[in-house]
Amino acid sequence: MIVDAHLHIFRPASVHPRTVDALAPAGRDAPAEDLLAVMAEAGIDRAVLVPLGPEDDYVAETVAAHPGRFAAIAVADRATQGLGPADPVETLHARLDRGFSGLRTQWLGDPSRPLAESPMLPVLRELADRGLPLWSYLPPSQLPLLRELPGTVGDLRIVLNHLGFAPHGMRVDEHGRPAFDDPFPPSVVETVLDLARHPHTYLMFSGQYALSRQAPPYPDLFPVIRAFAGAYGPDRMLWASDHPWTRDVPGPAELLRLADHALPGLSPSERAALHGGTALTLLPTLKEA
């Protein structure tokens, strides 16, 4: 079974209120119906939906309409991060009750303070207690806290988005996709490799299109990908397309071939883990339908 472990669907902001920015202007549309057609053509069986921001009604509706076909990861808002007047754990429960199976964050706490003092710590512990993953997409200033996370919340399943890249300086390329320069400075590479020592940390095999300066199969990323794969192994890596940014260029079929180029020594069982098996262990609701 092939699982696309990270992608986005959304409607124009006038139809479903959502985050609006240069990458997803108000009129841009990426409906679930189009995603289902793309999945059918590429032979993708299941997918993990991630809203663009905390406004997630459309994703919740789509998960409910297709039980077992999709899982969903909520995007943390200030309340879920413990930065508002509401109880952050109760706020998390409200998101989970709407069909979400994990949480994505770009903030763990004040980088000048230990993670143990973070107002988000109760939410991180609740995720760990429930066996639910944290999707980590943290900027460079948050990397010290990320390195503390396995030692502070030892049972938390952490998924490092897009090869563990720490987002900074995003631009939109000529295809309407995110693009980044200097994606893997030593601090990022060291953090990703250091976190591999912890068995509950996983690495998303995705984002190459935004991180490479070359055409597919993105050979300039082979050295870092192979170093990361050697540290994590395929059973802790999960493939993702990052649709809709990659819908047409390079397309999901091309992305599904990347592992054969970057990691040519994979056995069939290892490739199956990368392309779906690992995601199914993290999000078992995808097995139901």
Peptide bond between residue 144 and the one before it cis (omega within 30 degrees of 0): no
Helix axis angle for 186-195 and 222-232, nearest 10°, is 20
Tokens of 267: 């056995």
Question: Over the stretch 24-62, which tens digit does the pLDDT of each residue have?
Answer: 999 999 999 999 999 999 999 999 999 999 999 999 999
Contact 48, 10 (CB under 8 A): no
Per-residue pLDDT, 145: 98
Q: pLDDT tens-digit profile of 253-279?
A: 999 999 999 999 999 999 999 999 999
Closest alpha carbon to 47 in 32, 57, 58, 28: 32
Contact yes or no for 278/235 (Cβ under 8 A):
yes
Does the pLDDT value for residue 197 go beyond 60?
yes
Q: What per-residue confidence (pLDDT) applies to 97? A: 97
**What is the mean predicted confidence (pLDDT) over 118-127?**
98
- The torsion angle over the Cα atoms of residues 11, 16, 19 and 22, rounded to 10 degrees, is 40
Model pLDDT, residue 287: 78
Rounded mean pLDDT of 188-211?
Answer: 98
pLDDT recorded at residue 136: 98
Whether pTM > 0.85 for this model: the answer is yes
Give, in order, the Cα–Cα distances in Å from 103 to each of 8, 47, 135, 234: 14, 16, 6, 23
**151-163 pLDDT tens trace:** 999 999 999 999 9
Q: ω before 244 within 30° of 0 (cis)?
A: yes
Mean pLDDT of 69-89: 97
Q: 288 falls in which pLDDT band (50, 70, 90)?
A: low
Q: How confident is the model at residue 289 (pLDDT cuts 50, 70, 90)?
A: low
User: How far is Cα of residue 121 from the mean position of the Cα atoms in its chain?
Assistant: 20
User: DSSP secondary structure string, 220-274?
Assistant: GGHHHHHHHHHHH-GGGEEE---TTTTTTTT-HHHHHTHHHHHSTT--HHHHHII
CA 207 to chain centre: 10
Amino acid residing at 79? A
Question: Is the confidence at residue 286, as pLDDT, over 90?
Answer: yes
pLDDT digits (tens, 9 = 90+) for 222-248: 999 999 999 999 999 999 999 999 999
Element at 71 (helix H, strand E): strand 70-72
